[in-house]
Chain A
Amino acid sequence: MNQRSDVLTLEAVGKSFGTTTVLRDISLSVASNEFLTILGPSGSGKTTILRLIAGFEAPTTGRIMLDGADISQMPINRRPFNTVFQDYALFPHLSVRRNVGYGLMVRGVPKAEIGPRVEAVLAIVGLQDYALRLPRELSGGQRQRVALARAIICEPRVILLDEPLAALDVALRAQMCKFLKDIQRRLDIAFVFITHDQQEAIAMSDRIVVMRDGRIEQIGGPEELYGFPASRFVAGFFGENNLIDGVVRAIDGARCEVETPIGPLWGVTCGPAAAVGAEVHLSIRPEALVPGATEGHRFLVRDAQFAGPTTLIEAQGVEAPEVTLRLRLPSGGTRALPSVGDVVAIGWSEADARVIAAEGSNG
C-alpha cells in the first residue's frame, strides 16, 4: 500500500513552549525524493516544524520517524538531515572552502579527501572561484549557495530549508527557485522547504503543506491546492480568488447549489461536505471568469490594471453591488478588453466554481 518510500514521517506531533502551544497534531510524511513545501503566514509554526525535524527542539507530543524508526530522541549531530538556515548561519571566520568542508572535517574525513569533495560541491553551486572568500565578502545569493553546498556535501537524506529566498531580491529569487529545484532533482533527495510565498510554493513543490496557527490546513499538490482549496484560508492564500458568500440550497452529489446575492449558483464542493442551510463561499479564480458571455450576470467595470501579459479587471455587481469580482484577462487577446464604466455580462463554467465551507468562529 506504500509504494512511495517515505524517508521521514511526523506522527501527531505537537509542540508547546511553556503554556503556549505552537504546533498541534502535525502528521505528514516526506517521500525520499520529494520536494515538500511548508507554506503559511509568519508565526504559523513553519520554523518550529523544521527545528523539530532537525532535532533543535524535542516534540512535546507525537513521534518523528526516519525510515520507520522513532528518532525523537536522536541527537542533532547524528540525524541524516542538514539545514539551510533562514539567515544562512555561515561561520563568519571561516572561508567558503572551510565552511563547506566543515561537515566532513567534524566527521573525521581525511584532509586529502575533503579538498576535492569541497571543490566538486562548489562546482555544483557555481562557486568554484570563491573558495577562499570569507562569508562577509559574498553577496546574499552567493552566501545562500554556500549554505546549500555546506548541507549538500554531508549527503543528507533530507535537506531542510527555512525561507532561504526571503532575503533575496525578486529577480534573484526566481533564479534561485529554479536552481534549488534543479539541484533537488539532480541529487534525488528530499527537500523540505519553508516559505510564506505561494508563488514559490507552486513553482517548486511536489506537494505543499499549508499551515495556519500551528495546524495543517491542507496538504496536496500545487494544482490541487490551487484548484480545490479546502478552506477559505487556503483559497485566500493562493492568489486573488473571488469569494462570493452564500447559503447552500440543494445538494446533488459532489455539486451543490448556493443562494447568493447574484442569484442561485451551482458549484463543486471542496473539502468537507456541506449541508443544506450551511454558510459557504463560492470561490472562482480570476482567470476562470469570462466577460461578454451570452449568459451571465451584469457587472460594472470599476478598474482595469494592466499587468504585462494579463490585465486585472475589477467589476461590481449591477443588481448586487456588494459583490465585487476580479477578472484576469490576456492583455493581447483577440477581443477588446472591457474598459472602466462598461457594463458587461460575466459568466463562468460551472466546473470552475468551488464551494468552500465558511469559517466558523473557531476557524
Chain B
Amino acid sequence: MDDRRDLWRMGWAAFCLGLPFLFVLAPIGTFILYSFWHNESGALVREFTLENYRAFFADPVFRSIYLQTVALCLGATIVNLVAGYGIALFASRRPPRLRFALILMFMLPLFTSYIIKVYAVRGILGHRGVLNELLIASGLISEPITAFIFSQSAIFLTFIVLYLPFAILPIYLSIERIPENLGTASADLGGSQMDEIRHIILPLSLPGVVVAALFNFVMTFGDFVTPTMVGGTEGFTFGRIVFSQFGVALNWPLGAALAVILLATSVLAVGVAGLAMRWSTAR
C-alpha cells in the first residue's frame, strides 16, 4: 500500500521535473552548445569557439540595435506599467460587478489571435489608417503621417497595444489581494486617498508590478513577429536579427549566440526585478 503510494509520488516528481527538462532545459542547452560552434562555408564545424560572441561585441550595428531594442522594450514596459497600474487601480475601486466587466474588457484582446491584433493595429496606424484619417479630418495635418507605420514608433505603439493586458492582469490581481481593511485603517489614522495609494496599495502591489514588468520586457524583447509586420526596414530589432540568422542567413551558431545574449538579457531583467521587490518593505 505504502510502496505503491511512494511509487506514485516518485513518478509524479519525475514527471514534474522531467517535463521542463525535456521541453525547456534541453533546447536551451542545445542552442547554448550551438553558440560555441561555427559555420564554415555553409557547413557546421563542431569545435569550441568564441567567434560568435566576438562577432556580436565587435559589430557596432549589432550593438546599437541591441541597445535600441532594450530602450524600445523598456519604454513600452514603462508605459504599460503606468497605464496598466492606472487601469487596474481604477477597476479595483469599482463595485464588484463593474470591476469584473472592466477587467474582462481589458483582457478581451488575449482571447483574439495575435495576427488579427497586429493587423488591427496596422489598420489604425497605417498610411490610410484610422489615426491618419482622423487627424486629416480634424484639420491637424494635411498629409498622412507615414512615421506611424514601418518605424520604431510603430513597433512601440503596437507593443503597447499587444502587451497591455499582461501588465493589467498581474497588477490587478495583486491589488485585489490587499485586504480592504488596510485601506480603512489608513483612512482611520488620518490618511487621504493619496496616502493610501502611495503608502499602502503601491508597495503591497509591487510583486504584481514586478511580474507585469517582466512579462512586458521579456515578451517584447523576444518578439520578432510584431517588428517584422509593422516595423518595415526602419524598425529593426534584436529579435528580428536573431530570427534572420536562423531563417535567412542560415548561420545557426551566430543566431544561437545572439539568442543566448537575448536570454541573458531576460535573466538579467528577472534579477533586477527581484531586487526591486525589496522596496516593498520598510523597517
Q: With A89-B179, A92-B204, A98-B282 given, is the CB distance from A82 to B189 under 8 Å?
A: yes
B189 to chain A, nearest CB (A): 4
Interface residues of B in 167-203 (CB under 8 A from A): 179, 181-182, 184-192, 195, 199-200, 203
> How many angstroms between the C-alpha atoms of A35 and B203 in the bound complex?
37
Contacts A91-B200, A94-B281; is A106 near B185 (CB within 8 Å)? Answer: no
**Cβ contacts under 8 Å, B282 to chain A:** 93-95, 98
**Interface majority SS on A: helix, strand, loop or mixed?**
mixed
Is residue A4 within 8 Å, beta carbon to beta carbon, of the partner chain?
no
CA distance A144 to B186 in the complex (A): 17
Bound-complex Cα distance A77 to B183 (A): 11
Q: Is A233 on the interface with B (CB-CB < 8 A)? A: no
Mask of A322-353 contacts with B, CB within 8 angstroms, 1/0:
00000000000000000000000000000000
> How far does the alpha carbon of A154 sit from the alpha carbon of B187 in the complex, in Å?
12
A56 contacts the other chain (CB 8 A): yes
Measuring CB to CB, which residues of chain A are less than 8 angstroms from any residue of chain B?
Answer: 54, 56, 75-78, 81-83, 85, 87, 89-95, 97-98, 102-103, 105-107, 132, 134, 150-151, 154
Q: In which size bucket is the chain B interface?
A: 20 to 34
Chain B residues, Cβ within 8 Å of A94: 199, 281-282
Bound Cα distance from A82 to B280, whole angstroms: 26
Whether a CB of chain A sits under 8 angstroms from the CB of B4 is no
- Min CB distance B277 to A, Å, is 11
Return B255 CB to nearest CB of chain A, in Å.
44
Question: A93 with B203: in contact, given A83-B185, A87-B181, A132-B283 (CB under 8 Å)?
Answer: yes
Q: Is the CB of A103 within 8 A of B189?
A: yes
Of chain A, the residue at the smallest CB distance from B189 is A103
Measured between alpha carbons, how far is A290 from B187 in the docked complex, in Å?
56
- In angstroms, Cα B188 to Cα A107, docked, is 12
Is B187 a contact partner of A76 (Cβ separation < 8 A)? yes
Collect the chain B residues with CB atoms within 8 Å of residue A98's CB.
Answer: 282-283
Given contacts A82-B189, A106-B189, A106-B191, contact A56 B283 (CB under 8 A): no
List chain A residues, Cβ under 8 A from B195.
Answer: 106
Pick the most buried of B182, B189, B190, B191: most chain A CB atoms within 10 A of its CB: B189
- The docked-state distance in angstroms from the alpha carbon of A102 to that of B185 is 10
Cα separation A77 to B188 with both chains bound (whole Å): 5
A132 to B281 Cα, complex, angstroms? 11
Which residues of chain B are within 8 angstroms of A81 by Cβ–Cβ distance? 188
Contact of B185 among A91, A93, A132 (CB under 8 A): A91
> Which chain B positions have C-beta within 8 A of A90?
185
Partner of A97, one of B186, B200, B283: B283
Kindly identify which residue among A75, A97, A102, A132 contacts B189, using a CB–CB cutoff of 8 Å. A102
CB atoms of B192 and A106 under 8 A apart: yes
